[in-house]
Structure 1
Amino acid sequence: MNEGALYKRCHCRDENGRKLGGSCPKLRRPTGAYDSKHGAWSLQLEVKVPAGHERTHLRSGGYDTRDQAQSVLNDIKTLIALAETADRPDQARLQIAGLIQEALRERRPLPDADELRARLRLGRPVEQHLTVEVFLREWLETKRGSRTASTYTSYRIYCEHHLIPALGHLQLTKLRKHHVQQLLDDIAADAALIEAQNTERRELQAAAKAAYHVKDHARARQLRARLALMPPLRHVPGPVTLQRIRATLRSALTSAMKEELVTVNVAKLVELPAHRRARPMLWTEPRVRQWRRTGEIPSPVMVWTAPHTRAFLAHAENHELHAYYVLVAHLGLRRGEAAGLRWSDIDFRTGTIGIDRQIIQVNWTPQVTPTKTAAGERTVIAPKPVLTALARHRRRQRTWAAKAGDEWNDAGWVFTDHYGDHLTPDQFLTCFQALTKQAGLPPVRLHDLRHGAATLARAAGVDLKTVSAMLGHSSVTITADIYTSVVDEAKREAADLIADLLAAEHNDEEDTHPDPDETA
């Protein structure tokens, strides 16, 4: 590659109107040096091309000083020199020259040297602009088979709904911390608006329903017309959503760093407001009374006491899914793990249950996948009530199979419909919510039966390592972090109940044994 050339040109014209260009006498002083007050600096560089190709010259002008022109020329030479690192230098040189020509013609910045270097090292076409959108879509493809279906779906949703619309147009190498910070700040700001709109929509829906019931049809139509103009109910992105969006980008950029596409993971530099995960709280008697009076639920994660769980299981005793709830309440299985059991996983002789799969729902479609983590693959010991409930359930299922005949799906699932097809996690949830309401019990999530099993085990003195293994946690630290406070509360509740019971017995004794002085 030659060194290129710098020269001056101007826009002066001769008497015939033709541009003088570099031949204008005003460009030079009598000494022959360029006049600093006339014309502008230009550059030219001939690019080496393979035999058979037309000569390629890169030209650009309009620079105020020689130093400016020299700086641009140096940058161009640096970019052209990158072609020597490619597998096919001649082809890469022509492609890079084309990119430079386009940038000079459109007065855009020159291609980014680091990005070009990365593309050449990875064998990518240099003409392709590696934007955040292009990279994220390629990254999602690599994750399609290497993560559980639900995790991949979460990645895709956060990329398609948030990251690509806001950041996709940026070149990957130009992505900075402030871009990501602005995205997350905007989402947080929108959350308040979405919540207000959701509240207004619910109030209008309630008012329209009330108007319809009192036969005020004119007002009902008016309210429904207003509803039609409003946005639909939308998910309110909270702190957890922001954390997950950042985590998705952080994971993607970690892959980009491994491929040497970027040098800094800017997602790690972004600051988010501190978020405290909701801790499980026990449904103590005072909280239950408050809930019955006001409907107030103290925490998103509530745990039943042993009497609550016992009352629920007694109420559900004749329900088709009774064994499922007994299983989760005693052993703390995740709802998808219990849904994914086959009869071959259960050894009634030894009382053991093997767990190595789960049923999850991805966009409402059930899928059978491995357990959430490697630690989730485990064998648990089932107590007698669980084995009894499962045996009873198996007898009931055999009657369904006999009635279904040839239509029975003999896949060996434990929890099925009347034709042998496995149920979905949402079906267990819907039944659980209905049974809880029928029993008049304070509300908990189905997942909170798992929390209840862990809480009762710890309160009964089972060591932390055993409880962690039963739950399939990847670390004892996770178990301790979640359950320490609620276990202490459960112990205190039990102590108070025992004290109340003993106090009641003491009062009964006083009533049945009169004062000796009174009988004298």
Structure 2
Amino acid sequence: DYGKAKIYTVGSWLEVWMENYAKVKLRPSTFKTSQGFLKNHIKPQIGSIPLADLTSLDLQRFYKHLLDGGRVDRIEAKKKPKGLAPKTVRNIHQMIGSAYNLAMEQKLVSKNPTQGCALPKVEHKEMRTLTADQLSTFFQEARDSGVYELYYLDLATGLRRGELLGLKWTDVDLDRGVLKIQRAISRQNGKVVEVPLKTKNAYRTLPLSADAISVLKMQKCKVGNSEWVFPSPAGGPMSPDSVLHMLQRVLKRAGLPRIRFHDLRHTFATMALQNGVDVKTVSSMLGHYSAGFTLDTYAHVTTDAQLKAAQTMGNILSRAV
């Protein structure tokens, strides 16, 4: 009986999906983003279409509109391009698809209109990494600025910014030389809060090098009896924005190019891969959900490794010929 579908519009069904499904399944930050998609894009554009009447052509037109000029006019978006990023459009597509899967389970519709849509290709942002020479300049400046420990640990482990700030001394075992990643710090609605990790693979235990252990010992002396490894002056965890501003200051003083905090993680991964650490190991250290994701993200690094492998094989075979 598909009669009930007539009661729902795309907009009203997505609200039901948000409240009963997304709220339970999604991380708070992702949920907030999805709410924005619904309010700013989905409802104004396709919200009034009856649930069972939405076609993949409607969606295709909607996505094209978003890519061409979908950005909501806001002061902070003034300088940004008018269209939404391909990745954002894909996220909106995924959200609608998920809501329609629920509608199919509830026998409200017989098919999912998101199937058969052509999606925009996601262009990978050029990741910027620091070279070995730049790193020594960077560390020198970080030492002078008194923030060496935080950045050293990040480059030694490849932690996400929120994971690094979420470290408590109870997660650190200096005798065994391991670090447990159990929570992250995020800014939500203006407050610095503890949040769960990104995926189940992000809950991980990392080994520490001898140098990383001694850096942590120095940090322990610095912070005294704070429960946080990197506390803010007020005693709670540091805010994600302040670490980024600090990073920009250090880079500027060192005369290095501006990079994002996340690029320190890329630097860790790139250096590990370039120095012969296998992808599976790097993937588990980064807490990625699959080695395939790591391979895709660092394809440009592994291409160089393939070239080396080809040359190595060439050398072995030419000796045999």
Normalising by structure 2, what TM-score? 0.86
Q: Give 2:66's aligned residue.
A: 187
CA distance in 1, matches of 2:266, 2:79: 30
**Partner residue of 2:181?**
355
**Distance apart, 1:356 and its partner CA:** 1.5
Change in Cα spacing, 1:313 to 1:248, as seen in structure 2 (3 Å) is: same
Take 2:94 and 2:221, find their aligned partners in 1: how far apart are those partners?
A: 47
Once the two structures are aligned, what percentage of the paired residues are identical?
30
What is the CA–CA distance in structure 1 between the aligned matches of 2:114 and 2:48, rounded to whole Å?
17
Higher relative contact order (CA 8 A, sep 6+): 2
Q: What is the CA–CA distance in structure 1 between the aligned matches of 2:304 and 2:263, rounded to whole Å? A: 16
Q: What is the SS of the residue equivalent to 1:180?
A: helix
Q: What residue number does 1:228 align with?
A: none
Cα distance in 2 for residues equivalent to 1:359 and 1:258? 36
- Find the counterpart in structure 1 of residue 8 from structure 2: 130
Cα deviation, residue 432, structure 1:
0.7
Q: Is the 8 A contact 2:157 2:268 kept in 1?
A: yes
Aligned position for 2:301: 486
C-alpha change, 1:239 and 1:386, in structure 2 (3 Å) is same
1:267 and 1:413 map into 2 onto residues whose CA distance is: 45
The match for 2:2 is 114
1:169: which partner in 2? 48
Aligned equivalents of 1:266, 1:491: Cα separation in 2? 41
1:268 has 2:115 as partner = yes
| Cα deviations by residue, 1:56-102 (Å, 9 ceiling, x for unpaired) | xxxxxxxxxxxxxxxxxxxxxxxxxxxxxxxxxxxxxxxxxxxxxxx
Q: Retained in 2: the 8 A contact 1:184–1:242? A: yes
Q: Deviations over 1:408-463 (max 9, x none)?
A: xx5x1111122311112121111111111111112321101111111111122112
User: How much does 1:302 deviate?
Assistant: 1.1
Q: Tell me the equivalent position of 2:319.
A: none
Alignment of 1:314-463 (within 5 A): 314-398=140-224, 412-463=227-278
Is the 1:361–1:425 Cα contact (8 Å) retained in structure 2? yes
Cα distance in 1 for residues equivalent to 2:146 and 2:223: 9
Task: State the distance in 2 between where 1:395 and 1:364 align.
Answer: 31
- In structure 2, what is the equivalent of residue 140 of structure 1? 18
- The structure-2 alpha-carbon separation of the partners of 1:317 and 1:242, relative to structure 1 and needing over 3 Å to count, comes to same
CA distance in 2, matches of 1:173, 1:164: 16
Q: 1:157 aligns with which of 36, 43, 47?
A: 36
Q: 1:154 to 1:437 in 2, by over 3 A?
A: same
Q: Distance in 2 between matches of 1:490 and 1:442?
A: 26
Aligned partners of 1:471 and 1:463: how far apart in 2? 13
After superposition, the Cα gap between the structure-2 partners of 1:234 and 1:465, relative to the gap in structure 1 and judged at 3 Å, is: closer
Write the deviation string for residues 355-407 of structure 1: whole angstroms up to 9, x where unpaired.
01111223443331221001101000111222222221221112xx6xxxxxx
Q: Which residues of structure 1 form unaligned runs of 5+? A: 1-112, 119-127, 203-230, 279-298, 402-409, 493-520
The Cα offsets for residues 176-234 of structure 1, whole Å up to 9 and x where unpaired, read as: 1122122111222226xx79x99xx99xxxxxxxxxxxxxxxxxxxxxxxxxxxx9555
Q: Which amino acid aligns with 1:463?
A: D
Question: For residue 262 of structure 1, what is the amino acid of its counterpart?
Answer: V
**What CA distance in whole angstroms lies between the structure 1 residues aligned with 2:137 and 2:87?**
33
Q: How far does residue 268 in structure 1 lie from its aligned partner after superposition?
A: 2.5
SS of the aligned residue for 1:316 comes to helix
Kindly provide the CA deviation profile for residues 140-184 of structure 1, in whole angstroms up to 9, marking residues without a partner as x.
112223221111112111111111111111211111112212211
Counterpart of 2:318 in structure 1 is none
Structure 1 partner of 2:310 = none
SS in 1 for 2:231: coil
* Deviation of 1:244 (Å): 1.6
Whichever of the two has the greater Rg, that structure is 1
SS of residue matched to 2:118: coil
> Would the alpha carbon gap of residues 360 and 418 (structure 1) be closer, same or farther in structure 2, given more than 3 Å must change?
closer
Alpha-carbon distance between aligned partners in 1 of 2:304 and 2:257, rounded to the nearest angstrom: 17
Q: Secondary structure at the match of 1:328?
A: helix
**Within 1, Cα distance between the matches of 2:302 and 2:255?**
24
Structure 1 position 487, deviation (Å) = 4.9
CA RMSD of aligned residues (A): 2.7
Matched residue type, 2:17: W
Aligned-pair distance for 1:314? 1.9
Cα 1:320–1:253 change in 2 (3 A) is farther
Distance 1:314 1:115, change over 3 A: farther
The farther-off stretch of 350-359 and 242-251 is: 242-251
For the residue of structure 2 that corresponds to 1:269, the secondary structure is: coil
Once the two structures are TM-superposed, the CA of residue 337 in structure 1 deviates from its matched residue by 0.6
1:472 aligns with 2:302: no
CA contact (8 A) 1:397 1:418 kept: no
Q: Which runs of 4+ in 1 moved over 3 A?
A: 231-236, 318-321, 487-492
| Residues 453 and 190 of structure 1, relative CA distance in 2, 3 Å threshold | same
Shift of 1:488: 5.0
Task: Measure, in 1, the Cα distance between the counterparts of 2:103 and 2:147.
Answer: 47
Instruction: Label 1:305 to 1:180 Cα distance change in 2 as closer, same or farther (>3 A).
Output: same
For 1:166-315, list aligned pairs within 5 A.
Answer: 166-190=45-69, 232-233=78-79, 236=82, 237-278=84-125, 299=126, 301-315=127-141
Q: Which runs of 5+ in 2 are unaligned?
A: 308-321
Contact in 2 for aligned 1:153/1:362 (Cα 8 Å): no
- Cα distance, 1:234–1:481 mapped onto 2, change above 3 Å: closer
